[in-house]
Amino acid sequence: MPGPRHVEFLALPADDRRGLQFLMPLLRLADACDLSKDQRVDDIACQIAGDGVNLQIRGAKVDLELWAAQRVSDVFETVYGKPLTVSLSRK
């Protein structure tokens, strides 16, 4: 998340900063799902289940992407207030 060294972000109006904060975890997830840059992820399914969010990734050899997406879960929970579980889809 942006800190004191991100002066351009801090210079934005509060409403703009808030909107961007909701987009940051999604952008990080998108980047994580193509971390190898080989487009290995075939499909992503997202479900809100109870108090959390489940993200399922489908594709061949997506271990790196799965790991990277799981690392975003703390930022996602900080912004959205819901835990994110990332798993490999078996479908």
pLDDT at 91: 60
CATH of domain 7-88: 3.30.300
CA distance 45 to 6: 33
Enter the pTM of the model. Answer: 0.82
User: Cα separation of 71 and 59, whole Å?
Assistant: 18
Per-residue pLDDT of the chain (91 residues; tens, 9 = 90+): 777 888 998 899 999 989 999 999 999 999 999 988 989 899 999 999 889 999 999 998 999 999 999 999 999 999 999 999 999 987 6
Query: pLDDT value at position 6?
Result: 87
Q: Under the phi-then-psi rule, with left for phi > 0, alpha for psi from -120 to 50, and beta for the rest, what region is 72?
A: alpha
What is the amino acid identity at position 19? G
